[in-house]
Structure 1
């Protein structure tokens, strides 16, 4: 196994943490083409219907709305960090986090098994961060008597690297 070190990040509590793995669940680059194209089409329609609006205003406003929406959709970070003071590794998905020590086991859920994992087999108490534009997922089963969450199901473009960082 190899450890993935990408630098240092500062937590909201202002403690430096060593990053083992980090991934942002952004939308694919090609989604920007239809997103901005749709915004331009709507702006053109608005300009045809309302002559009092300056030509550039509808394009600027709807272009910013499209860019903000696509950026917002890809805002979630998945990272495994090791605290410099405590030395305890944690899995962070967005604002949610858990110590790696409470993970009983973890596995990759391939793209072909994703619909089954998110369908009838899904436990309603599970923590799920699903992005439909990302194929594989990672299943993290918890062993914590104080936590009612049985497992986490997380989208990841590189599940093998995430699993390696969790077990390192």
Structure 2
């Protein structure tokens, strides 16, 4: 069982705004064929909605590893994870962003977690990952990266 798991689903407004593909297709294709415009619009909407849904990345902390989308890293080569919300998250995605950072960010999710990479062989200085629960994700990463000792105090 994972210590933390989240799928970065698109927000409902993304799906609603994608519905504008239907009337746009009708307007473009109506002079040629109204049924073709309707069919094209519906197919475009289904393709966009399906792609957004199927490609939503999973963020997971499990078995001493951190996975963001298709990439994963052992937690023993990471530093202390730091959650960023609001203006701090905006700065992390903007003015504070290092071009070498590994990113799994989604525009419809405002908050992020920054996970430093302590492996000198890794070209990315840190991972920056979108999350709807930055404190919980950072806590799960930080708990999982601590060395586990025996069953209790000596």
Given the two structures, how large is their TM-score scaled by the length of structure 1? Answer: 0.75
Q: 1:156 is matched with which residue: 131, 134, 137?
A: 131
1:22 aligned to 2:14? no
CA distance in 1, matches of 2:108, 2:25: 27
Provide, for residues 16-69 of structure 1, a one-character-per-residue CA deviation record: whole Å limited to 9, x for no partner. xx3111111111013212212x12212321442212854652243223233234
Residue 146 of structure 1 deviates from its aligned partner by 2.1
Equivalence map 1:62-77=2 (5 Å)? 62-71=44-53, 75-77=56-58
1:129 aligned to 2:104? yes
Q: 2:68 is matched with which residue: 93, 111, 118?
A: 93
Residue 100 of structure 1 deviates from its aligned partner by 0.9
CA distance in 1, matches of 2:118, 2:37: 59
Identify the residue that residue 42 of structure 2 maps to in structure 1: 60
- Going from structure 1 to structure 2, the CA distance change for 1:115 and 1:54 (only over 3 Å counts) comes to closer
Structure 2, unaligned stretches of length 5 or more? Answer: 144-154
CA distance in 2, matches of 1:62, 1:120: 35
Identify the residue that residue 50 of structure 1 maps to in structure 2: 32
* Contact 1:136–1:157 (Cα < 8 Å) also in 2: yes
CA distance in 2, matches of 1:46, 1:76: 33
Residue 101 of structure 1 deviates from its aligned partner by 0.9
Equivalence map 1:23-42=2 (5 Å)? 23-36=6-19, 38-42=20-24
Structure 1, unaligned stretches of length 5 or more? Answer: 1-17, 83-88
More strand by share: 1
How big is the alpha-carbon RMSD for the aligned residues of Structure 1 and Structure 2? 2.1
CA distance in 1, matches of 2:119, 2:79: 9
Provide, for residues 96-136 of structure 1, a one-character-per-residue CA deviation record: whole Å limited to 9, x for no partner. 11011111211111121223223332222111222121111
Given the two structures, how large is their TM-score scaled by the length of structure 2? Answer: 0.81
Aligned length: 143
2:17 aligns to what SS in structure 1?
A: helix
1:91 aligns to what SS in structure 2?
A: strand
